[in-house]
């Protein structure tokens, strides 16, 4: 007898992950397949949509092969957010997809923001515009590649391209569409005012359906590629960040989701679309519909270097044996024996929105070693995330607990640091494929297995709760103002250092 299950597909930046999930949100099979990010010029980031589909078929077949005797009742989709896919009238890609990492559109960000007005843009779309967002990318294409735009019949997000390949249908849903900065977060529909300012035809954008709606059925051709039967419902799904929050059980304003991975995010569900007119955070639509009983929006602050900073320290600086490093970090007390790390190795987003920021160690002495430096990096990354959270708090957020996801959730030390800095209890999440599990929950909701809230409850599984240590929390309260002041005092000098380094590299190349 076959077990009912859903197939969840999470189209990430470097790979696609596939999960086969049953009605109790237990994983019965998993698969993944990688693809490259092409960087034809400095600051560019592109991927071939066809490579996504080839990888999708491989990952799905791998997951289905692990799952014994299942009957797939629905397919859910999670997609990397912000990116731009152009298709011609036959459904073929016009050019490579331009993804969220792309930085070519900085001039278009400036001119579009001026044209619309920074405050008006945030009021409509919930966020300032940034490079890699679809609105900025389309403005760049209109200016630099008008021939590509002339051939375009459909503009899609990466996850919605996957939907098209699965079903032949052109559709989107609010949680992913709102990340384009072309979507009105109040009306849950495309923002004609912004689309007109970009200068592109509104008819190129797909229809918007609820996240937990059936958006089409699996075509015969796609079924052959994936090893399934045609006719399986394909559901709306969502953007990877809000789906990860759903799977983590962060479904009300009492729970703050922190993800410590390469970078970090702080996500807080919101009952109303409250925006930050200073442009420090994003307020976007969640996968929850009007009748779900869950918050229909979420607020998100993002930082750029957490796990990346620790990896940089250990791989690029401490090139020797680091096998005993975790033990040495555990022996270092809070405040890292007086060392502070500014974690801005890749610039910073929330709250500084400073692409030219850079990192720094402060307070170094001759006796400091790998343990102190590593703990300082972990504490500095957590302080950066706490600065992002403070914007959410300023806008009314008052969570009572933290759910910690990503690689940080697997580190007892990082979990304890977060508990101390935020002075809140931390529940480390055990499920590592949150976005894919979120897509599975939405798919299960669409076919009547449960509602979103029940699916999130079934999905979220935690390790042992970590309570804040009062002694550590007091030390971090004293340390945090020094961390903040260090950035303010060093900002201009760090910018000047970057400019000097650029001039020196240019002179060296031309010599």
Summarised one tens digit per residue, pLDDT across range 362-372 is 999 999 999 99
3-242 and 307-387+470-510 share one fold: yes
Q: Which pLDDT value is given to residue 397?
A: 94
If you average pLDDT over every residue of the chain, what do you get? Answer: 94
* Residue 240 annotated in active site: yes
Name the active-site residue from 10, 160, 240, 387.
Answer: 240
Q: Is the CATH code 3.30.420.40 the one for domain 3-242? A: yes
Tell which wins on pLDDT, 380 or 43.
380
Residue 466, pLDDT above cutoff 90: yes
Q: Which pLDDT value is given to residue 431?
A: 74
Q: Is the peptide bond before 419 cis (omega within 30 degrees of 0)?
A: no
Q: Which pLDDT value is given to residue 376?
A: 96
494 — phi, psi (to 5°)? -65, -35
- Decide if 350 contacts 302 (C-beta within 8 A): yes
User: pLDDT class for 263, splitting at 50, 70, 90?
Assistant: confident
Distance CA 40, CA 47 (A): 11
Summarised one tens digit per residue, pLDDT across range 226-247 is 999 999 999 999 999 999 999 9
User: pLDDT class for 323, splitting at 50, 70, 90?
Assistant: low
Q: Which pLDDT value is given to residue 314?
A: 86
User: pLDDT class for 315, splitting at 50, 70, 90?
Assistant: confident
What residues contact residue 79 under an 8 Å CB cut-off, 6+ apart? 10, 11, 157, 158, 159, 160, 162, 176, 237, 238, 239, 240
From the candidate CATH numbers 3.30.420.40, 3.40.50.970, 3.40.1030.10, 3.40.50.300, the one assigned to the domain spanning 307-387+470-510: 3.30.420.40
Tracing tokens 């430096």 back to the chain, one arrives at: 373
Distance CA 239, CA 352 (A): 24
Distance CA 281, CA 385 (A): 12
Residue 322, pLDDT above cutoff 90: no
| Mean pLDDT within 157-186 | 98
Residue spans per domain, the chain: 3-242, 248-304+395-459, 307-387+470-510
| Mean pLDDT within 180-202 | 97
Summarised one tens digit per residue, pLDDT across range 78-124 is 999 999 999 999 999 999 999 998 989 999 999 999 999 999 999 99
What is the fold, at CATH topology level, of the domain defined by 248-304+395-459? Nucleotidyltransferase; domain 5 (3.30.420)
| Number of other CB atoms surrounding residue 327 within 10 Å | 9
Q: List the structure tokens of 78.
A: 């999670």
């Amino acid at each position: 007898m076959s077990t009912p299950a859903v197939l969840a597909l999470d189209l990430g930046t470097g790979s696609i992950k596939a999960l086969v999930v049953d009605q109790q949100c237990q994983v019965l099979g998993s698969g993944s397949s990688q693809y490259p990010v092409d960087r034809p010029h400095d600051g560019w980031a592109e991927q071939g949509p066809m490579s996504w589909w080839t990888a999708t078929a491989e990952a799905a077949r791998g997951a289905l092969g692990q799952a014994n005797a299942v009957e797939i009742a629905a397919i859910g989709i999670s997609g990397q957010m912000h990116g731009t896919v152009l298709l011609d009238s036959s459904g073929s890609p016009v050019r490579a997809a331009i993804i969220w990492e792309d930085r070519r559109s900085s001039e278009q960000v400036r001119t579009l923001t001026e044209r619309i007005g920074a405050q008006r843009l945030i009021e409509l779309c919930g966020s300032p515009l940034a490079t890699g967002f679809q609105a900025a990318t389309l403005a760049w294409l209109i200016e630099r590649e008008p021939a590509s735009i002339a051939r375009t019949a459909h503009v899609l997000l990466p996850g919605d391209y996957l939907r098209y390949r699965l079903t032949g249908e052109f559709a989107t849903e609010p949680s992913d569409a709102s990340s384009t900065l072309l979507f009105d977060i109040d009306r849950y529909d495309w923002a004609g005012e912004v689309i007109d300012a970009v200068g592109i035809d509104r008819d190129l954008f797909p229809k918007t359906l609820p996240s937990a709606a059936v958006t089409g059925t699996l075509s015969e051709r796609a079924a052959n590629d994936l090893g399934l039967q045609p006719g399986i419902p394909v559901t709306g799904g969502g953007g990877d960040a809000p789906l990860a929050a759903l799977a983590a059980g962060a479904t009300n304003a009492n729970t703050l989701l922190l993800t410590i991975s390469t970078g970090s995010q702080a996500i807080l569900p919101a009952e109303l679309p409250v925006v930050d007119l200073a442009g420090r955070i994003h307020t976007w639509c969640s996968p929850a519909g009007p009748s779900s009983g869950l918050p229909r929006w979420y607020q998100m602050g993002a930082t750029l270097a957490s796990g990346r900073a620790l990896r940089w320290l250990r791989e690029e600086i401490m090139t020797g044996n680091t096998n005993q490093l975790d033990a040495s970090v555990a022996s270092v007390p809070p405040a890292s024996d007086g060392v502070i790390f500014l974690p801005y190795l890749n610039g910073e987003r929330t709250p500084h929105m400073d692409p030219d920021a850079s990192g720094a160690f402060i307070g170094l002495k001759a006796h400091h070693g790998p343990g102190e430096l590593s703990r300082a990096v972990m504490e500095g990354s957590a302080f950066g995330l706490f600065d992002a959270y403070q914007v959410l708090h300023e806008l009314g957020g008052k969570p009572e607990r933290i759910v910690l996801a990503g690689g940080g959730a697997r580190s007892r030390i990082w979990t304890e640091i977060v508990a101390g800095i935020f002075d809140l209890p931390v529940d480390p999440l055990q499920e590592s494929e949150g976005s894919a599990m979120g897509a599975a929950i939405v798919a299960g909701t669409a076919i009547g297995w449960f509602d979103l809230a029940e699916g999130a409850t079934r999905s979220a599984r935690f390790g042992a709760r970590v309570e804040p240590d009062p002694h550590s929390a007091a030390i971090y309260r004293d340390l945090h103002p020094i961390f903040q002041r260090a950035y303010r005092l060093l900002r201009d000098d760090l910018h000047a250092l970057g400019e000097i380094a650029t001039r020196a590299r240019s002179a060296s190349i031309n010599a």
